[in-house]
Structure 1
Amino acid sequence: MATFECLAEKGTTAITLRDIATKADITLSLIHYYFPTKEGLLVDATSYVMQKQIKDIQKELSNIQDFSEQLKKLIFVVHHQFKSAEWRKVYFSLLAAAAWSPKIMEEIRLLQNQLIDLIQENAQNSNVKITNLEAFSRVLLASLNGLALQVMHGASEEQIAPAYAITEKVLLSLISN
């Protein structure tokens, strides 16, 4: 939690292990014991943040059988996750860090593939027909990330809510039973 709070306050480039130790009220040497480098800690933080997102999504989708309804719920959940300024800052800060860190990039790739697999599995279990399920899943993720990025750059909820609605309609139009 201390790492998440520090990332939300300072981002990946300005954060130090000392900041995290201070926030967590532990010694710096204890952090160095588990994470000899800042990159190691950021890889772990990336995994934590992305796994949390995946678990939240799985929980929300677990009782919904119809893929169209799952898609609507997924868009709703992600939209509401990204309403949190802290969540957006941490999420995009870690995505940006992947440009300079092959280890963080690999962690994000693995975790995004888990999310793509989850979408594909739910679609297959619902017996829907989507021409290219992997491409559909990637477009879904890219759309949701792009809308969240627009909010981070100043788009208001009044401006972004219709964009989420259009995204939902477009993606639903690609599904056939």
Structure 2
Amino acid sequence: MTDEDRRGAILEATWQLIAERGFHAVRISDIAKVCGTSTGTVHYYFPGKDDVLTQALKYCVEQAFVRQSRELRGIDDAHERLLKLIDMQLPRMGRVRDEWSIWLQYWAEAVVRPEFRPAHNEFYARWHETVVRIVRRGQRQGVFRTDVSPEELAVHLTALTDGAAIQVLTGRPGMTVSVMRELLIGYVQRELLVERRTSPEPA
């Protein structure tokens, strides 16, 4: 393995441990054990515990963006692209749910640690801009209303997504992944889709 491979393997193991156990519960020895290496090797790439933990959070979020961008590029229709984005945000069991766990912990750290905020705000700006670009694309294609501000809709949709996901992850009664999906799709249908006129039924 190259140095870059080893570093990536450490970050991959670390973010999954954070998702499972919590940011402050993960130890360097835990990371080394999962990677099948020594604590000295982990420290070689990341001098301190905070270094590896914070880099793992950033790595996880970056990987999620890369995966989502790759998926979205293959979809031309803006409405379908937005529905795909929504689907990829749903905290189903598995990797996406673990990524949401990372997001929640990133938020919590950014509240009390200002040094987390620049990277957090950069990631959030990318998430916001993804929605803005899709809305503008749909307006050009004629599938989304042109009287809607892409910026304002992105603020509303991202906030609605985050709020619903928090309720799913914290086990709020009645809020499931399916309910979250219907909530977000319903918002898009009401606020963004161009009304389709149907022909009157024959007498």
Give the alignment's TM-score, normalised by structure 1. Answer: 0.83
The one-character-per-residue Cα deviations of 1:50-81 (angstroms, maximum 9, x if unpaired) are 112212221222122222222211111111x4
Shift of 1:155: 4.2
Matched AA of 1:93: Q
Matched AA of 1:99: V
Counterpart in 2 of 1:135? 152
2:131 to 94, 114, 119: 119
Contact 1:17 1:38 in 2 (8 A): yes
Contact 1:72 1:168 in 2 (8 A): yes
Counterpart in 2 of 1:87? 99
Shift of 1:112: 1.6
Contact 1:98 1:108 in 2 (8 A): yes
Contact 1:7 1:15 in 2 (8 A): yes
The one-character-per-residue Cα deviations of 1:110-159 (angstroms, maximum 9, x if unpaired) are 11211222222232233243633223212222222222211211247874
Q: Which structure has the greater CA radius of gyration? A: 2
2:83 to 68, 72, 76: 72
Check 1:130–1:24 CA distance in 2 against 1; reply closer, same or farther (3 A cut).
farther
Structure 1: how far apart are the matches of 2:160 and 2:119? 21
Structure 2: how far apart are the matches of 1:67 and 1:173? 16
2:164 to 119, 133, 147: 147
Structure 2: how far apart are the matches of 1:64 and 1:135? 23
Structure 2: how far apart are the matches of 1:47 and 1:71? 24
1:47 aligns with 2:58: yes
The one-character-per-residue Cα deviations of 1:14-33 (angstroms, maximum 9, x if unpaired) are 11223212221222222223
Structure 2: how far apart are the matches of 1:46 and 1:86? 11
Where structure 1 has 5 or more consecutive residues not aligned to the other structure, the ranges are none
Contact 1:130 1:136 in 2 (8 A): no
Structure 2: how far apart are the matches of 1:30 and 1:135? 47
Counterpart in 2 of 1:99? 111
- What secondary structure sits across from 1:52 in the alignment? helix
The percent of aligned pairs where both chains have the same amino acid is: 22
Structure 2: how far apart are the matches of 1:116 and 1:158? 24
1:2 to 4, 7, 13: 13
Check 1:130–1:51 CA distance in 2 against 1; reply closer, same or farther (3 A cut).
farther
Q: Report which stretch shifted further, 152-161 or 68-77.
A: 152-161
Check 1:175–1:9 CA distance in 2 against 1; reply closer, same or farther (3 A cut).
closer
Between Structure 1 and Structure 2, how many residues are aligned? 176
Give the alignment's TM-score, normalised by structure 2. Answer: 0.74
Structure 2: how far apart are the matches of 1:34 and 1:52? 19
Shift of 1:98: 1.9
Structure 2: how far apart are the matches of 1:76 and 1:169? 13
